[in-house]
Amino acid sequence: MTDRIQQIREEAEQAITTATDTQTLENVRIHYLGRKAELPNLLRTVAELPASERAATGKAANEARKALEAAIEQRAQHLAAVELEQRLERDRVDITLPPDPRHDPGRLHLITETRRELEDVFIGLGFNVAEGPEVETVYYNFDALNHAPTHPSRLMTDTFYVAPADDIFDPNARLLRVHTSPVQVRAMEHQPPPLYIIMPGRTYRPDNDATHTPQFHQIEGLAVDTDITLADLQGTLLAFARAIFGEEREVRLRPHFFPFTEPSVEVDVSCFNCTGGLTAHGLRCPLCKGEGWIEILGAGMVDPNVFAYVREYGYDPEEIQGFAFGMGIERIAMLKHGVPDLRMLYDNDVRFLEQFG
Ligand code: PHE
């Protein structure tokens, strides 16, 4: 009987060393030490053996079982380590690669992107950024900006008044600002000259078509100092136009009217889609409509009447001059990126939005 045990032991040891993966090793274990295996069976029946054989057989079988268990355990640890090593080698993950499927971290909205681009340009020119409230008073939105009582944009049809606005001539009546210009007055009340600021923000008008939405964005600019001329305005706007629309751009000032600037101008930039109104194929340029120039903003020298409203804050119209300008952020974005309809900026269609930012 001990011979048979020795035979099983040798056979099993052989199988253990030749097992090259944990699954095969497990099969070896079941085959030699499992419930139906010969050796454990033998151990269970030792008691039934003749007394002379009992001790020797029991001892040999027990030793064999312990030896095999130890050998299996040792081999299992070895194989597990090898397999882990192989798995690590095979499944090496490059954590610097982008996730798959791609996880889109999102992007800036075109309006935000354009606002920041504009801010960067003017900050580079020495301007600071200031902000003011979107719910304004008639005083800041109209009166202190030298709007005559008869000015048409004061009408209910042109301005969103905040209820109750029984008297739209009450300086304290509330409205949604129609432009960012009221921030000019607030900024001057806040700080004496010299002042070089830009004022971005939301503005509101009861319009709705391909080039107007009831809510839109403007960036206002204001420079006040003791020696500001129209040439400074022109130079500043030229630098801005070239930074945004390309180094070859020129600007042109046309006479216009705003209640709060005198003289007032509308500013055009030379078309960046054609030369002199004609495309490379000799066709009328669709962007500037063959004009060669595109209107981009309103501007002018600050009207002394506006300074008179803030004289007590250090703005003596006899001592200082200033220029101001205001532009629509959506308009700049549309021109620059060829967006055909302003409302696309507010449709929240990602197929459009994900092209920017
Ligand atoms: N506030 C004017 C508008 O909304 C633009 C402007 C700003 C014009 C500053 C002159 C100076 O049309």
**CATH code for the domain in which residue 289 is found:** 3.30.930.10
- Model pLDDT, residue 185: 98
My answer on whether 337 and 208 are in the same domain is yes
Within a domain: 271: yes
Protein residue closest via CA to atom 2 of ligand 1: 326
| DSSP-assigned beta bridge partners for residue 302 | 261
- Model pLDDT, residue 54: 85
Say yes or no: CB of residue 141 within 6 Å of ligand 1. Answer: no
- Model pLDDT, residue 114: 98
Within a domain: 248: yes
My answer on whether 180 and 258 are in the same domain is yes
Within a domain: 105: no
For residue 336, give every residue at least 6 positions away whose Cβ sits within 8 Å of its Cβ, in sequence order, or none. Answer: 114, 244, 245
What domain range is 6 assigned to?
A: 2-90
Protein residue closest via CA to atom 12 of ligand 1: 298
Within a domain: 270: yes
Say yes or no: CB of residue 300 within 6 Å of ligand 1. Answer: yes
My answer on whether 134 and 217 are in the same domain is yes
- Model pLDDT, residue 165: 74
**Mean predicted confidence (pLDDT) in 63-87:** 91
CA distance 164 to 166: 6
Say yes or no: CB of residue 204 within 6 Å of ligand 1. Answer: no
- Model pLDDT, residue 166: 84
Last residue within a domain, chosen from 38, 56, 90: 90
Say yes or no: CB of residue 184 within 6 Å of ligand 1. Answer: no
Last residue within a domain, chosen from 44, 59, 90: 90
| 123 alpha carbon – ligand 1 mean position (Å) | 20
Within a domain: 329: yes
- Model pLDDT, residue 91: 85
| DSSP-assigned beta bridge partners for residue 129 | 198
Q: What global pTM score does this model have?
A: 0.73
My answer on whether 228 and 315 are in the same domain is yes
Nearest to 236 by CA among 223, 218, 255, 224: 223
The answer on pLDDT for 289 being more than 80 is: yes
| DSSP-assigned beta bridge partners for residue 218 | 201, 328
Region class of 81: left (phi > 0), else alpha (psi between -120 and 50), else beta? alpha
Say yes or no: CB of residue 201 within 6 Å of ligand 1. Answer: no
**Mean predicted confidence (pLDDT) in 299-317:** 98
Torsion of CA 235, 241, 246, 249, to 10 degrees: -60
My answer on whether 49 and 155 are in the same domain is no
- How would residue 195 be classed by pLDDT, with cut points 50, 70 and 90? very high
Chain mean pLDDT for the chain: 93
The answer on pLDDT for 228 being more than 80 is: yes
- Model pLDDT, residue 52: 84
Say yes or no: CB of residue 324 within 6 Å of ligand 1. Answer: yes
My answer on whether 82 and 230 are in the same domain is no
Residue pair 23/83 in contact (Cβ under 8 Å)? The answer is no
List, as own/partner pairs, every contact residues 309-314 make where C-beta atoms lie below 8 angstroms and the sequence separation is at least 24, other chains included.
Answer: 309/143, 309/144, 309/185, 310/144, 310/185, 310/188, 310/189, 313/188, 313/189, 313/190, 313/191, 313/192, 314/192, 314/193
Within a domain: 101: no
Say yes or no: CB of residue 182 within 6 Å of ligand 1. Answer: no
18-43 pLDDT, tens per residue? 999 999 999 999 999 988 988 888 88
- Model pLDDT, residue 342: 93
Nearest to 4 by CA among 65, 54, 61: 61
My answer on whether 61 and 123 are in the same domain is no
| 307 alpha carbon – ligand 1 mean position (Å) | 16
| 332 alpha carbon – ligand 1 mean position (Å) | 15
Within a domain: 95: no
- How would residue 106 be classed by pLDDT, with cut points 50, 70 and 90? confident
Say yes or no: CB of residue 261 within 6 Å of ligand 1. Answer: yes
Q: Would you give the distance in Å from CA 236 to the centre of its chain? A: 29
Which stretch of 36-40, 161-165, 167-171, 326-330 has the lowest confidence by average pLDDT? 161-165
- How would residue 89 be classed by pLDDT, with cut points 50, 70 and 90? confident
The amino acid present at 143, given as its one-letter code, is D
My answer on whether 242 and 345 are in the same domain is yes
My answer on whether 137 and 185 are in the same domain is yes
My answer on whether 71 and 139 are in the same domain is no
Which stretch of 180-184, 216-220, 275-279 has the lowest confidence by average pLDDT? 275-279
Closest atom of ligand 1 to CA, residue 203: 4
Top mutation candidate among 181, 212, 331 for ligand 1, by most atoms within 8 Å of CB: 181
| 164 alpha carbon – ligand 1 mean position (Å) | 27
Within a domain: 98: no
Say yes or no: CB of residue 306 within 6 Å of ligand 1. Answer: no
| 329 alpha carbon – ligand 1 mean position (Å) | 13
My answer on whether 204 and 146 are in the same domain is yes
- Model pLDDT, residue 239: 98
The tally of domains found in the chain comes to 2
Closest atom of ligand 1 to CA, residue 221: 9
| 336 alpha carbon – ligand 1 mean position (Å) | 20
My answer on whether 83 and 121 are in the same domain is no
